[in-house]
Structure 1
Amino acid sequence: MLQASTLKFLKDLKKNNNKPWFEKNRSVYLDAKEDWDHFVEQVIEGFGKTDSTIATLHPKDCTYRIYRDVRFSQDKTPYKTHMGAYLNKGGKKVPTAGYYLHVEPGRNMAGGGLWMPQAPELNKVRQEIDYNLSEWTRMLGDRGFKKNFAEGLGKEDMLSRPPKGYDDENPAIEYLKLKSFIVTRTFTDAEVQSKTFLKEILKTFTSMTSFIQFLNRSLE
């Protein structure tokens, strides 16, 4: 579980997203960061028993800095108001499919997949789905998968027409139009602070292992 003080820090930061306040409360931030790193470490230790590619990771390989890159953004607030971690076989900087954990008061979630891959990688995933549609649909229809990800695959920036090389008659067309292959499960603030939170994250990630392996296989 995460400490209530960690979520309180994120709530307070959202109301006071400026450098003077942050510096004044740096010790509170460091306590929250330590709490987050410890939780991510527990996720790695627990889930590494299911997915061995995760077992050798360290929190620093997966967690993100709290400082925002504001160079190309109209929003100039300097700090992120959430804590995130991306677990995959190469760490957060490697563009392969993986597992994502996001804690933000009122917007907590876990999930993962492959977000907005470049054209060569996107074409590989589409080809793998086209060639192995029965495996893909069976995986998405798995009872545990559907229980955790009731809304199914996200439809962000989905194409309105078939991608090049495919037509509307293709039985996989609803998946081939996707630009990302992502699933998510939301959690309340109370669930994040409950003693069962770690167990639920491990169950969530375990239910999507085949999904992640399918995506990464297509990229090989």
Structure 2
Amino acid sequence: MDLPFLLKFLNNLAANNNKAWMDANRADYHRARATFTALVQELLHGLQRFDPDLQGITPSDSMFRINKNDRFQQSDEPYKNRMGAGMGRGGRHSPWAGYFIAVEANGQTWVGAGKWRPEPASLARIRQEIHYNGAEFHELRQAPKMQQHFPDGFEGERLQRPPKGYDKNDPDIEWLKLKDFFVSQSFTDAELLAPDFVPRVLASFQAAQPLVQFLNRALEGE
């Protein structure tokens, strides 16, 4: 995999984020995307060894488009400055919890796992699962490997008040207020280019697998 070229392309794209530049550098884009595809394939191959839910998932199922979605655009730039993939049951846009990677130049690469901003019905199921199985939830989030790979814990927003149906004195109320159940880890450019990058990412994903399984069990409504 030519990861140095991928980073170089993304760095140049960030400095020239417009259609004219992309059209003039289309061959480089395809070369960079081929490199990212190979990276995602290698990660999927490793993931499928320990998470059976990913059997049969391919890079094309997982990779996000580089074009920005007009509904969410906050600038005039037509392209994302990163290449990303969501590796989970059903692919990148599935409702299930899964594993994610975004490669971006200048130390902005990250990997993550879990469920970001679930729909209200899904969020209600996750909260119910935590309420019913709090001990299991705390055991998995406090596991040594989770603490090692994701020391910052859960990211995202939380409610100011208890969610409807839960008592403010519930011992798990601060966790029940969460809107996102997602952990992530950042990598510098040097770490991305190091020979052990893929094994490190897979170790992080494996550490997060119990969280992904817990969330998906909740989302299944079992």
TM-score by structure 1 length?
0.96
* SS at 2:118 equivalent: coil
Q: How many Å separate the matches in 2 of 1:123 and 1:20?
A: 45
| 2:94 pairs with 1:94 | yes
Mark the runs of 5 or more structure 1 residues left unpaired by the alignment: none
Offset from partner CA, 1:52-74 (integer Å, 9 cap, x none): 11131110000011111225534
Are 1:147 and 2:148 matched, yes or no? yes
1:2, distance to aligned residue in structure 2 (A): 5.2
Contact 1:70 1:77 in 2 (8 A): no
Q: 1:189 to 1:2 in 2, by over 3 A?
A: farther
Q: What's the counterpart of residue 181 of structure 1?
A: 181
The match for 2:116 is 115
Give the letter aligned to residue 175 of structure 1.
W
SS at match of 2:79: coil
Q: Over residues 74-107 of structure 1, what are the superposed CA-to-partner deviations in whole Å (9 max), with x where a residue is unaligned?
A: 4121111001010111111211100011111121
Offset at 1:157? 2.3
**Alpha-carbon separation, structure 2, partners of 1:190 and 1:32:** 18
* Distance in structure 1 (CA, Å) of the matches to 2:57 and 2:70: 29
Q: Give every structure 1 segment of 4 or more consecutive aligned residues whose post-TM-superposition deviation is greater than 4 Å.
A: none
Q: Which residue of structure 2 lines up, in the alignment, with residue 159 of structure 1?
A: 159
Question: How far apart, in 2, do the equivalents of 1:196 and 1:58 lie?
Answer: 23
Change (3 A) 1:85 1:2: farther
Number of positions where the alignment pairs a residue of Structure 1 with one of Structure 2: 219
Residue number in structure 2 paired with 1:135: 136
Q: Which moved more, 1:102-111 or 1:197-206?
A: 102-111
**Following superposition of structure 1 onto structure 2, how do residues 43-58 of structure 1 map, counting pairs within 5 Å?**
43-58=43-58
Q: Which residue of 1 aligns with 2:25?
A: 25
- The alpha carbon displacement at 1:135 in A equals 0.4
- Separation (CA, whole Å) in 2 of partners of 1:58 and 1:74: 30
- CA contact 1:2–1:35 (8 Å) conserved in 2: yes
**Which ranges in structure 2 are unaligned for 5 or more consecutive residues?**
none
Where 1:48 maps in the other structure, the secondary structure is helix
Normalising by structure 2, what TM-score?
A: 0.96
How many Å separate the matches in 1 of 2:81 and 2:74?
Answer: 16
Q: Percent identity?
A: 39
**Alignment RMSD:** 1.1
Distance (Å, rounded) in 2 between the aligned partners of 1:3 and 1:83: 12
User: What's the secondary structure of 1:99's corresponding residue?
Assistant: strand
